[in-house]
Structure 1
Amino acid sequence: MRPIQIFAGEHALSHIKRHGLKPTDIRVIMGASGGPKWFVLSHLDRYLVQHWLPEATHQVDLIGSSIGAWRMSAYAGADPLKAIEHLEDHYLNQRYDGKPTVREVSQSVHDVLDGFMRLDDIEHHAQRKLHIVSARSKGPSALEQKHMQTAVFTAVATGNLISRHSLPLWFDRTIFHSDGGQLPVANWDRFRTHQVTLTRENYRDALLSSGAIPVVIEGVRSPAGAPSGLYRDGGMVDYHFDLPIKPDNGLVLYPHFMPMLKPGWFDKPLSWRKVSADHYSHTVVVTPSREFVDALPYHKIPDRKDFEKLDNDTRIRYWRTVIDRNQAIADAFHDWTSQGAPIDDVEPITAIAR
């Protein structure tokens, strides 16, 4: 069984054919929304911060939404390996008695965040530029009453079913970025996009808002320096990302949970809604293989429904098993790149994008 699958866009494929893939090629690293799905990648994260980031003497832009933003924040810090280990430990060991309230889940999220992030890390963003994506709610989507949120987000999902172009009526994209950070995006999409510089005053709120899942977690009100309003999970706008991120002098590396790319959170159940392959022309996507996932307990990677379906002890054992086994993903990526990144092991991005 081969533990990983590798996909590459047209430009990235051409580069790998000629040069292989090395740390010095990477200008952007992306992290997707997905909550505990991350547990299938945590050893690959360890590998990258230990062996790839130190080799990059150039600026690397780190962009993420929700748990992806938290992972990229760990990448950007003074001690990224320790931060990843602490994030993994605190997220893994969440415990709830019965069905938790929004307040209880929100407090748990605060505790997880406090377990790995440090405000002083913002002083270490000189070369690793962090970009945290949040969704600024508009109109009724800014309501906090749970029963109202359920009705509003049902309407949002219905509009998105017809067209993703309806989402900018409900959300703006806000990117909190390290001072001097600049994503290589020539043309943004229909979402109004606010660029806000990360400071000690808004760093924590930016991370909290990026993971504030509607109905489940409290939104964040008006982070310092950002347009006023209620901020929610960045996956509402950018779940797996559908932006033309194309560095002039390098590639994008995307450690991802699965061989599937969806633009937004509301697109998850829509089999026909995929990202643009052209937007991924410079991107190398590394995912666990279908065979690897099928061999896991329950034949799947972790997800948020595990909180509901499994008791605390069973869930934690399952997630820990996935963490232990995902060392094979990091080993497989190391083996592939050490062998010169054979192009025969790479599939075109069109296999998972349109």
Structure 2
Amino acid sequence: MDAPITIRLGARARQRIAREGLQAADVAIVPAAAGGPKGLILHGIDTWLFGEWLANAPRERRLIGASIGAWRMAASALADPVAAHRRLAHHYTHQTYPAKVDAAYVTRNVRGILDEALGGHGGEALSNPWYRLSVITARGIGPLAQTRGVRWREMAGFLLAAAGNAVARARLARAMERVVFHDARDDSAWLRERFDPFGTQFAALSEENLRVALLASGSIPLLLEAVTDIPGAPAGTYWDGGLIDYHLHLPYQRDAGLVLYPHFSDHIVPGWLDKSMPWRRARDAALDNVVLVAPSPSFLARLPNRKMPDRGDFKHYGQDHASRIRDWSFAIGESERLAEALAQWVEKPDLKQAGDF
């Protein structure tokens, strides 16, 4: 049977693993992509990583994510990460909507899912002795700074932003900037020197703004209401961090440690608007120390509809909520096979099985 996982290695990561194997103590950063329901397919890996493998080799680590990835990393930083991931998977899977909804309704629903996932323990993510959480958001500038919650202004602003991005990713930087909400104990020095066209601002996480920052990081334009004026952060309007950092193409090479990246894809797409542009996939030195693990095509072929859960399922299943929940729950159960395969690989890494970026 084909392997359930696909592995990609940066050049420095390959050399290090060839010499020393893959040790949990070497993992310095764990990124988590945006992608909505796609993140559910990583549930098994998340619970194994944070419940066992990394937990057995405590050291300071950066956990950084956008959108659902930020939620996953916040769950990982709680005192009982396995319980937190189970809550997140359950409540995310069981969300339902009537045939017609507005952004206010979706926002209330999503806020409820987030609250259930945190389970009243959000403050634990800010006091974890080993993990330093960072939440990525996108803040509107230029025309997108003037939307004031008016839907047509928002739509017009994003149409202009998308048109600019189609020409060059640098043009998207005229419409939005990255705001990183980070653990106050970590100055995020590795991100402060400019590494792409986007301006980046930083704000310390606190119990006052953690929940709001996580909500902002997952606020899909037009589908959810934008989040405004987050405590302790630059004034303005905030949206889903995946708009800029869909798969988190960040300067990982600046860290001496390894980056272990559980991902739902075997490649890295910089921004959400770049999904249909394969020429923009990341293949640079930023990935030198990255170990990326993703579901293999053969694994996905055995799931319902021969794919992982995604946002299109809400339309595909319509009001047949029970069937969607059944199929998503099956995929989550199957994700345990990904964790088992990864555990076997890290025990005895087969570099012939691993591809390059």
TM-score, L = length of structure 2:
0.94
- Residue of structure 2 aligned with 1:333, choices 331, 337, 342: 342
Tell me if the contact between 1:209 and 1:220 (Cα under 8 Å) persists in the aligned partners.
yes
The code of the aligned residue for 2:214 comes to L
- Kindly state the Cα deviation for residue 177 of structure 1 after the two structures are TM-superposed: 0.5
- Residue of structure 2 aligned with 1:269, choices 266, 273, 276: 276
Distance 1:105 1:191 in 2: 29
**3-state SS of 1:77 partner:** coil
Distance 1:25 1:6 in 2: 17
The code of the aligned residue for 2:276 comes to P
Is 1:179 matched up with 2:190? no
- Kindly state the Cα deviation for residue 150 of structure 1 after the two structures are TM-superposed: 2.6
Tell me if the contact between 2:243 and 2:272 (Cα under 8 Å) persists in the aligned partners.
yes
The code of the aligned residue for 1:137 comes to G
Question: 1:233 aligns to what?
Answer: 240
Q: Considering only aligned residues, what root-mean-square deviation do their CA atoms show, in Å?
A: 1.4
Distance 2:309 2:94 in 1: 14
Question: 1:124 aligns to what?
Answer: 127
The code of the aligned residue for 2:335 comes to N
**3-state SS of 2:234 partner:** coil
Is 1:313 matched up with 2:322? yes
Is 1:157 matched up with 2:187? no
Distance 2:306 2:58 in 1: 40
Per-residue CA deviation, residues 211-244 of structure 1 (Å, 9 max, x unaligned), is 0000101111111111100111000111102221
The code of the aligned residue for 2:170 comes to H
Tell me if the contact between 1:27 and 1:247 (Cα under 8 Å) persists in the aligned partners.
no
Distance 1:202 1:82 in 2: 23
Q: How does 1:1-354 map to 2 (within 5 A)?
A: 1-117=2-118, 118-142=121-145, 143=147, 144-183=149-188, 184-185=190-191, 187-246=194-253, 248-310=255-317, 311-338=320-347, 340-349=348-357
More displaced 10-residue stretch of structure 1: 250-259 or 340-349? 340-349
Distance 1:252 1:237 in 2: 20
- Kindly state the Cα deviation for residue 246 of structure 1 after the two structures are TM-superposed: 2.4
**3-state SS of 1:344 partner:** coil
The code of the aligned residue for 2:86 comes to E
Tell me if the contact between 1:122 and 1:200 (Cα under 8 Å) persists in the aligned partners.
no
Tell me if the contact between 2:122 and 2:211 (Cα under 8 Å) persists in the aligned partners.
yes
Distance 2:207 2:256 in 1: 31
Distance 2:165 2:285 in 1: 22
More displaced 10-residue stretch of structure 1: 74-83 or 271-280? 271-280
Divergent runs of 4+, >6 A: none
**3-state SS of 2:195 partner:** coil
The code of the aligned residue for 2:80 comes to D
Distance 1:198 1:84 in 2: 21
TM-score, L = length of structure 1:
0.95
Distance 1:293 1:114 in 2: 30
Tell me if the contact between 1:78 and 1:124 (Cα under 8 Å) persists in the aligned partners.
no
The code of the aligned residue for 1:226 comes to A
CA, structure 1 residues 77+2, in 2 after alignment: closer, same or farther (shift >3 Å)? same
Structure 2: any 5+ residue segments left out of the alignment? none
